[in-house]
Each structure stands twice: as C-alpha cells, then as structure tokens.
Amino acid sequence: MIPQHAPRALPTALLLSSLPARRRWWRWWGDRQFFVGGSFSSSGRRCRFCCGRAARRMGGVSGNDVATALAEKAALAMVVADPASLERKKAAVRDRGTDNLQVIADFDGTLTRYWIDGCRGQTSHGLLKSNPETDAKIQAQYEYYHPLEYSPAIPIDEKTKLMEEWWEKTHSLLIEGGLTFDDIQKSVSSANIGFRDGVVELFEFLEEKDVPVLVFSAGVADVIEEVFRQKLHRSFRNIKVVSNRMAFDNGRLVAFKGKTIHVLNKNEHALDMAAPVHDQLGDSNGSSDNSAFVKKRTNVLLLGDHTGDLGMSDGLNYENRISVGFLNDNVEKSLKTYQEAFDMVLLNDASMYGVLELVSQLCSPDKQ
Ligand SMILES: [Mg+2]
C-alpha cells in the first residue's frame, strides 16, 4: 500500500531521501532509469550509498509511477532470509483477522530515524537536558554502565541488577537536579530527533483498522509523548507508550511511578505501566483497550532495531509473530545475525513504507 497523498511529481531527491542531505550526490545511467547515489559526512571520511531503479527521472510522473518507485525503493532496502516461512506466517495472521492482531514497536531507532541530515539522530534517552551539573553526573553514569550493558562476560541476572542500578541512579539524579516539564519540552524542541518517513501513514492505517500499537521503551514515557506531540502534532487513539513515567508537582519532577523499565525487562510484563498517549494530549476519543484486552490479541507484528527487542513479546502467549528488524548501520557486520533473528530486515535506516505494505497485506483477507 502506498500513501494516497504521495506527490505526483517525483523529485530525484525523494528516491534518495534515506541519505543524509549533506554533500549528497547521484548519477543516472541506462537511459536514466537507474541511479546510484550517496552522501559524504562533513569530514568527508564517511560515505553512504544507495542505488535503484526509478519510474522516471523528474517531474510530471503519474501517481502510479510514484507508487512503483516508492515500492521499489522499499524493496531495495529489505532482506527476507526465509520467504516461505514469512508467507506462512502472513497467511496465518491474515486468517485470524485484524481483531487478533497487535503491533509491538521499539521507539528509538525503530520509529525514529538513525540518521538525520547526515548526523546521528538523538534518542529519547539522550536528548534530555536538565542543568550542566546533573547532565555531567548522568553522563558519568553512562560511561560506567554502558560498557557493562554490552559486556558478554556478565551473566544476565547480574547484568539485570546492574541495569536496574543504572536506571535508578539516573532517575534519582533527574529528581535531585530539579528537572521540570518545561525542561522536557525545551529538550525535545532542540533535539535532533525525528520519525521515519511512513510512520504517520502506518499509525493512521492501524488506527483505521483498530489495531493496537504498544510502543515499548526503556526511556521515559513523558519524553516520548512530547516527541509525538512536537513532531507529529496529533494523537492516535490506538497507541500506548509502555515506559518509565514521571510524577510532577507544580511542573517539577518529584518521582517515577511504578516499577523501573530498563533495557532488559521491556516486555509485556511491564504492561501495567502503559498509559494511552491520547490521555496526555487531551483526546476525548479514548480507546477501551487494557492490558488484558491486548494480551488476547495473539498475533503480533514486532518492530525493533536490536535483536534484544525480540524480548518485547515475552509475557505474551502469541500464536504467530512476524518480526521486522531495522538494521540502521554496520550492515555488512550485522546482516547475518539480523537475518537469523528477524523475519524481515530493513536496511540502512529505511523508511516505514515496507512495514506499511506488510501491514496492509496482513489486514486484507483477500490478499494472497
Ligand atoms: Mg531501539
């Protein structure tokens, strides 16, 4: 499925939109039906490439040409290791209907872009700014604990304790530092963070089909909801953010609610932390979904950018799970691992249009 409001005139830049804007270049050949493009970082040391076939080069192309070009662009950036297995899963999900489907999505690097205008996009964890002293203490915690998070030498139960320790220290520092809701709004406003192309269309489609979306994050729900507010300027009644939630008193952070959600426990066990995004945005058309209702939806489309994100469906006794992995960087090094872990892998900070196409197939009983 391609968004109906896709532009009728297709600039070349649209086909190369996954590349950073800085020092972007492209060349055409084969009667201008094929292109190769790339962009260099400001230092000139880093280069990213893409290539593909365009429906037509510039201006005046038909809507069908645009659809073809966008679909081809999505296909170019997609790898499916076992197409027969994926087709079986798609058929099983389709047969059970949209009433049994839910989407579970990671936030950073999955719904949001990895690269923005040639720079590494910020994460919801990393964008929060309090005051220089608190920010320095939080950075020191990061430098101590982050290597431990990825250390293969630490057993998982010990690592889980370390992650709890890290999150709780960071939360305490934010409280002691006097973070305000105004700080969150300003941090998001100045942050280099943005959603992938096609995310809004995906959410609109799922909302129309009444398919719930759980956004799981080990960050902070209040920050993520502010990113939704500032970057999308609208709410979706079917989306819930499952993340750490702040409590404010007169606009100042005083506590975190409930159990800490960190990188090693963000899964459906944490559903009691969920709160609808629309509640925060004042949307009166609330969803009646609750965690029990979501747990009855036993077909899952899982979106993540890390193999650890596959654990987001832990705690859910699912019948069928289709997993989509965004492999944003180091493709050559990580492709084999991602191919083995995910049913579908989208490469190089791809758009969400490949997922939109997949979802439209899952929600169309007549599609084969
Ligand atoms: Mg992520």
Mean pLDDT of the chain: 80
Q: How far is the CA of 61 from the centre of ligand 1 (A)?
A: 36
Asked if residue 269 and residue 148 are part of one domain, the reply reads no
- pLDDT per residue over 40-49, tens digit each? 444 434 444 4
> What is the total count of domains within the chain?
3
The SS3 of residue 8 is coil
Distance 332 CA to ligand 1 centre (A): 19
Cα–Cα distance, 147 to 170 (Å, whole number): 16
Q: What is the pLDDT of residue 367?
A: 58
**Distance between CA atoms of residues 283 and 285, nearest Å:** 6
- What integer pLDDT is reported at residue 116 of this predicted model? 92
- Calpha distance 325→263 (Å, rounded): 17
Residue 129 CA to ligand 1 center (angstroms) comes to 20
User: Residue 183 domain-assigned?
Assistant: no
Same structural domain, 86 and 232: yes
Rounded Cα distance between 105 and 214, Å, is: 6
Rounded to whole angstroms, the Cα distance separating 248 from 246 reads 6
Q: Are residues 352 and 225 in the same domain?
A: yes
Q: Which burial class, exposed, middle or buried, applies to 30 when counting CB atoms under 10 A from its CB (0-12, 13-18, 19+)?
A: exposed
Distance 91 CA to ligand 1 centre (A): 28
The answer to whether residue 184 sits within a structural domain is no
**Per-residue pLDDT at 3:** 38
* Domain shared by 163 and 276, yes or no: no
Look at residue 269 in the predicted model and tell me its pLDDT: 65
| Residue 331, domain member (yes or no) | yes
* Count of other CB atoms within 10 angstroms of residue 368: 8
**More confident site: 293 or 27:** 293
Q: What is the mean pLDDT of residues 88-109?
A: 95
Instruction: Give residue for tokens 């709410």.
Output: 235
**Residue in the structure block whose two tokens are 């609750």:** 290
Domain presence at residue 185: no
pLDDT for res 220: 94
- Residues 341, 150, 103, CA angle at the centre, nearest 5°? 40
Same-domain pairing of 109 and 239: yes
Residue 243 lies inside a defined structural domain of this protein = yes
Q: From the CA of 66, how far away is ligand 1's center (Å)? A: 30
Which of the four pLDDT bands, split at 50, 70 and 90, describes residue 22? very low
274, pLDDT greater than 60: no
Residue 21: the pLDDT is 42
Q: How far is the CA of 193 from the centre of ligand 1 (A)?
A: 13
Closest by Cα among 221, 218, 314 to 260: 218
Higher pLDDT, 297 or 280: 297
Residue pair 286/305 in contact by the 8 Å Cβ criterion? no
Q: Is the predicted pLDDT of residue 63 greater than 90, yes or no?
A: no
CATH classification of the domain holding 144 = 1.10.150.340
319 part of a folded domain: yes
Whether 115 and 243 map to the same domain: the answer is yes
Q: What is the pLDDT of residues 100-112, one digit of tens each?
A: 999 999 999 999 9
The band of 13, judged by pLDDT with boundaries at 50, 70 and 90, is very low
Q: Where does the pLDDT of residue 270 fall: very low under 50, low under 70, confident under 90, or very high at 90 and above?
A: low
pLDDT at 30: 38
The answer for residues whose C-beta is within 8 angstroms of residue 315's C-beta and 6 or more apart is 267, 268, 269, 271
CATH number for the domain harbouring residue 255: 3.40.50.1000
Query: Is the domain of 145 the same as that of 275?
Result: no
Same domain, yes or no, for 302 and 261?
Answer: yes
Cβ distance 350 to 15 under 8 Å? no
C-alpha of residue 297 to centroid of ligand 1, in Å = 23
Whether residue 3 is contained in a domain is answered as no
For residue 106, give its domain range: 79-119+196-362
What is the distance in A from the centroid of ligand 1 to the CA of 187? 19
The reply to whether 149 and 54 lie within a common domain is no
Catalytic site positions: 106, 108
101 and 22 share one domain: no
Query: What's the per-residue H, E or C state across 249-311?
Result: ECCEEEEEECCCCCCCCCCHHHHHHCEEHHHHHCCCCCCCCCHHHHHCCCEEEEEECCHHHHH
Residue 264: what pLDDT? Answer: 87
Q: What is the pLDDT of residues 202-219, one digit of tens each?
A: 999 999 999 999 999 999
| Ion ligand 1 residue ranges (Cβ < 5 Å) | 106, 108-109, 305
Same domain, 83 and 43: no
Asked whether residue 107 falls in the same domain as residue 231, the answer is yes
Is residue 240 helix, strand or coil?
strand
Distance 55 CA to ligand 1 centre (A): 33
